Amino acid sequence: MKRRPRLLDISQPVDGSIACWPGDTPFHSEWACHIGQGAAVTVSKVTSSPHNGTHADAPCHFLLGAPGIGEVDVGKYVGPCRVVERIGTGPLTPAEVRRWRVRKGERILVRSRRRLDPRVFPAKFAHLVGDSAALLAAAGAVLFGIDTPSVDHRDSKTMDAHKALLRGGVAILENLDLTKAKAGRWRLIAPPAKFMGLDAAPVRALLEG
């Protein structure tokens, strides 16, 4: 009998306890109406930055006049991918990226943490430097994802990695939960919500393998 593919949820849970980027809009939900209070239906109301939890960055997040997340090619977020394990909070250097031997059309996800607490915003985290991002784009990667809040350094003001990836046509996923994802080849299913014109959108990211 043929084995059914295993689905692994690599999305962070989202509720009022999760940490958001310092200064950004935290996640908050409340009931607009509730059947427990006599209403015919239960309806919630949410306020949140689209960058909370697992999300996809749009080109317009850093590039003036570029497409919003509702206009991107969703095909980049679905297909074969490779999980690369690189535990640690230091920058991902060009030398490391070269060792990955990225091929044209690949989707690369980096597992940098063995444990993850979405309630705590990390003081330090793994990230790309600009030259590393440029190498990924030049190699023809179609997507880069990471289990941290940003592909750039926390204190970056120039966002070189974001810009190099987006200018090179590389889709970006951030805040993945790869704690249970073994290094190797999988199939990624992670299309972003169709938020027209916005800079990012939440993603329910899955690995199939």
Residue extents of the structural domains in the chain: 50-208
More confident residue, 152 or 3: 152
**Averaged pLDDT for residues 196-208:** 98
Residue 2 is predicted with a pLDDT of: 63
Residue 80 identity: P
**Averaged pLDDT for residues 22-51:** 97
Give me the helix-helix angle, 160-167 and 130-139, nearest 10°: 10
CA gap 103, 27 in Å, rounded: 37
Contact in structure between 70 and 199 (CB atoms under 8 Å): no
CA gap 94, 139 in Å, rounded: 12
Residue 201 pLDDT class (50, 70, 90 cuts): very high
Residue of 55, 61, 127, 162 marked catalytic: 61
Report which secondary-structure segment, H or E, holds 82. Answer: strand 78-85
pLDDT digits (tens, 9 = 90+) for 183-195: 999 999 999 999 9
**Three-class secondary structure of residue 43 per DSSP:** strand
**What is the pLDDT of the chain when averaged over all its residues?**
97
Residue 4 is predicted with a pLDDT of: 64
pLDDT digits (tens, 9 = 90+) for 110-147: 999 999 999 999 999 999 999 999 999 999 999 999 99
Residue 1 is predicted with a pLDDT of: 59
Residue 61 bears catalytic tag: yes
Give the closest residue to 57 by CA, choosing from 165, 205, 206: 165
Q: What is the CATH number of domain 50-208?
A: 3.50.30.50
Residue 3 is predicted with a pLDDT of: 67
**Three-class secondary structure of residue 69 per DSSP:** helix
